[in-house]
């Protein structure tokens, strides 16, 4: 990349990160402290872009007018914890050591694995290789996201991301940490299969993060008629977050794409031009997230997950609500008895 970038990372690493990790006794057995330094600088850039560009846009041209921003505050906390805490730590303590182990185990054979093993000429075209990796990742994300809505035990966790009634520029990192772990395992395993290097992985994730932060931003302009057919924009993702319309019970099952909207069009889940609806969920057992702090919110999601995991309804694909005992029931059924209303 640019020549000043490695210098900046090195300087920050030498003067801040390495001494800190040394002090914490974490320097010996894990990844490269440069990874932590790089993740922290990227985090600072990202927070600057959200705070200095996306957030003012919300005041200038909001999609939804709010009298206050009370509910968005917790999402900013989620973003700061993710970017400055969990992301760098996960890369350092888990990803890099794992990749190193895989490299040692694979030895020379590594070069023949994955996408490059299939299309060796790609090595000469790094940008094309990056674009192809991205396409494959985004495709995987699309199907994983459909599963997050389709499987009740996964929805039990993913619903925390959807419970936000004031969806805005900090909302992308609001989510269950168990869900985050599951997603990392799915995407990480896929990365190993197609042979992505750890530093490429970080760059891939960063590129996606910024687009996703923008697509959660509370603004009324999208990318226009042509680009909205290629990329996910705020209008497109806002429809994904709409509250269920009980008269049109399938309307909200749409726009699952992360960065590219092409998958939704290919697989028949794209919606455009629907009149804007409020965001959030109807289910009171999930909507209660809005009244909770971070720890209680995480705990609530884990209880829903546990309730779903051990019940038959938790494995039966389709929309569900949760009863007061955290056990899911198919949508339209009675909240307490779990029975359809006609019985
Ligand atoms: Zn979703
Ligand atoms: Zn979202």
pLDDT for 340 beyond 70: no
Question: 3-state DSSP call for residue 65?
Answer: coil
Distance (Å) from CA 49 to ligand 1 centroid: 24
145-195: pLDDT as tens digits: 999 999 999 999 999 999 999 999 999 999 999 999 999 888 888 887 887
Distance (Å) from CA 332 to ligand 2 centroid: 24
pLDDT at residue 223 in the model: 87
Ligand at shortest distance from the CA of 252: 1
**Closest to 103 measured CA to CA, from 91, 113, 117, 118:** 113
**And the tokens for 125?**
């075209």
Spacing of C-alpha 65 from chain mean position: 25
Ligand at shortest distance from the CA of 168: 2
237 contacts 112 by C-beta, under 8 angstroms: no
pLDDT for 287 beyond 80: yes
**And the tokens for 185?**
């395992």
Distance (Å) from CA 273 to ligand 1 centroid: 19
Distance (Å) from CA 22 to ligand 1 centroid: 40
pLDDT at residue 337 in the model: 61
Distance (Å) from CA 312 to ligand 2 centroid: 27
Mean pLDDT for the chain overall: 87
pLDDT for 285 beyond 80: yes
pLDDT at residue 61 in the model: 94
94-124: pLDDT as tens digits: 766 776 666 655 444 445 567 777 888 888 8
pLDDT band at 4 (very low <50, low <70, confident <90, very high): confident
Measured CA to CA, the distance from residue 175 to residue 161 in angstroms comes to: 5
Q: What are phi and psi of 55, to 5 degrees?
A: -65, -45
225-272: pLDDT as tens digits: 899 999 999 999 999 999 998 888 888 999 999 999 999 999 999 999
155 contacts 331 by C-beta, under 8 angstroms: no
Q: What are phi and psi of 51, to 5 degrees?
A: -70, -35
45-101: pLDDT as tens digits: 999 999 999 999 999 999 999 999 999 999 999 999 998 888 878 777 776 677 666
Distance (Å) from CA 258 to ligand 1 centroid: 9
Ligand at shortest distance from the CA of 159: 1
Distance (Å) from CA 249 to ligand 2 centroid: 19
């Amino acid at each position: 990349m640019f020549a000043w970038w490695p210098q900046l990372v090195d300087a920050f690493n030498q003067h801040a990160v390495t001494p800190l990790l040394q002090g914490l006794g974490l320097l010996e057995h894990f990844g490269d402290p440069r990874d932590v330094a790089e993740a922290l600088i990227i985090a600072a850039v990202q927070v600057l872009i959200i705070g200095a560009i996306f957030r003012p846009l919300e005041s200038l041209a909001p999609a939804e007018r709010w009298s206050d921003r009370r509910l968005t505050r917790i999402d900013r906390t989620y973003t700061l914890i993710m970017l400055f805490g969990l992301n760098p730590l996960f890369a350092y303590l888990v990803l890099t050591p794992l990749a190193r182990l895989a490299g040692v185990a694979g030895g020379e054979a590594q070069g023949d694995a994955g996408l490059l093993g299939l299309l060796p000429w790609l090595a000469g075209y790094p940008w094309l290789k990056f674009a192809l990796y991205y396409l494959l990742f985004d495709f995987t994300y699309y199907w994983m996201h459909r599963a997050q809505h389709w499987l009740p035990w996964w929805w039990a966790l993913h619903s925390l991301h959807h419970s936000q009634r004031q969806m805005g520029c900090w909302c992308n990192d609001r989510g269950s940490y168990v869900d985050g772990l599951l997603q990392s395992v799915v995407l990480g395993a896929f990365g190993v299969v197609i042979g992505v290097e750890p530093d490429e992985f970080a760059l891939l994730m960063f590129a996606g993060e910024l687009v996703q932060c923008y697509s959660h931003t509370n603004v009324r302009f999208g990318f226009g008629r042509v680009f909205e057919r290629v990329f996910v924009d705020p209008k497109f993702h806002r429809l994904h977050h709409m509250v269920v319309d009980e008269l049109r019970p399938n309307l909200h099952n749409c726009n699952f794409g992360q960065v590219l909207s092409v998958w939704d069009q290919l697989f028949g889940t794209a919606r455009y031009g629907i009149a804007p609806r409020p965001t959030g969920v109807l289910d009171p057992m999930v909507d209660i997230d809005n009244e909770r702090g971070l720890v209680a919110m995480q705990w609530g999601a884990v209880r829903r997950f546990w309730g779903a995991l051990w019940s038959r309804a938790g494995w039966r694909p389709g929309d569900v609500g949760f009863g007061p005992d955290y056990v899911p029931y198919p949508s339209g059924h009675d909240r307490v008895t779990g029975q359809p209303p006609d019985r």
